[in-house]
Every structure is written in C-alpha cells, then in structure tokens.
Amino acid sequence: MSDGMTEVQKTAEELHGCPVIVSLGQRVLLVSRDQYVSVMKALLDDSFDLCVDLTAVDYLLMPNRVVGADIKPERFEVVVSVMSMQKHERLRLRVQVPADDATIDTLFDVHPGTEALEREVFDMFGIVFNGHPDPTRILMPEDWDGHPLRKDYDFGRIPVQFKGSPA
C-alpha cells in the first residue's frame, strides 16, 4: 500500500485507539481531529515529551491517495513529529483536515513550543488552530491575501519594496 509518496506497512498495532502504520522505518500514528489533543496528552504521559516539528501538507493534486488503515484522505494533513528522549524513539502523527473545515485544535497547552509552528501553518496553508493564543500571521504581512503554500495559490511576481524607496 502507498501513502502517496512512500511505501507503508500496515500493522495490527494501535496506540491510544489510533491505527499505526510504518513508513520509512518509522511508526506513524493516524489520528482523527477529534482525538488529536487527547492523543498528544497521552503520548506526553508515555514520555513523548519533545514536539520536534509541526507542519502541514496540501494534497490537492492527490485526492485519491491511500493514507493507510482505511483512513479517508482529505486535502490537508497536519503532520507532527514527537520524540521520547527516555525511549530514544520518534513517532510521527498524521491528521487529516478537510478543505471545507480547515480547522484543528491547538497543541499550545500540551506543547507550548508549537505556538510559532502553528502560526506558520496558518500563514502558509490557512489551517486555523482553535484556541491558539496568537492566531496572527508570522511570515507574511498582516494584509497579505491568501496562503502561499496552498497548491491552488496563484503565484506570480511579488514586487520588492525597499525601505525609503518611493512606491
């Protein structure tokens, strides 16, 4: 079975009620949006105490990809990498986020270090993190229209403006 880019192995394993697959030798937990924060809290209790990364993927051009474990693919996917320093183990979480409701709860209360990462995902993909303490743009100007890493974002020339130059 393929997750769209790499071969994955289906396992009979579940962790905190979520199916586990193996991709490139790493365990990947397929988490629903409803379970997302509770699973992250449970993983924290399991000594996965370091949130290494949080990002997103826009699968607009791959709507029929296979996620694994009979999970329905959505346009967006939030991907979180966590690590247990105690167990010397990494775990990746994949959460499907539909285009017509591009929202997911924030991890800020569980992993405060995700604050900037969630803002980047909002800024670049337009995924809103419910309950985020500062849901403002972090990379693009506040008045920027659109989200540049969306596959349907119209790219074009962006004029460079230098401080003190006439407009």
Question: Among residues 75, 84, 67, which one has the least CA distance to residue 29?
Answer: 67
pLDDT at res. 2: 47
The phi, psi pair for 20, rounded to 5°, reads: -120, 135
The domain ranges of the chain are 8-103
Under the banding of pLDDT at 50, 70 and 90, the label for residue 3 is very low
Task: Report the helix count and the strand count for the chain, using DSSP H and E.
Answer: 2, 8
Question: What pLDDT, in 10s, does the model give residues 50-103?
Answer: 999 999 999 999 989 989 888 999 999 999 999 999 999 999 999 999 999 999
Question: What pLDDT, in 10s, does the model give residues 119-131?
Answer: 999 999 999 999 9
Q: Are 51 and 107 in contact (CB under 8 A)?
A: yes
The angle at the Cα of 39, spanning 38 to 45, to the nearest 5 degrees, equals 95
Dihedral in degrees, nearest 10, Cα atoms 58, 74, 127, 155? 30
Query: Any idea which architecture 8-103 has in CATH?
Result: 2-Layer Sandwich (3.30)
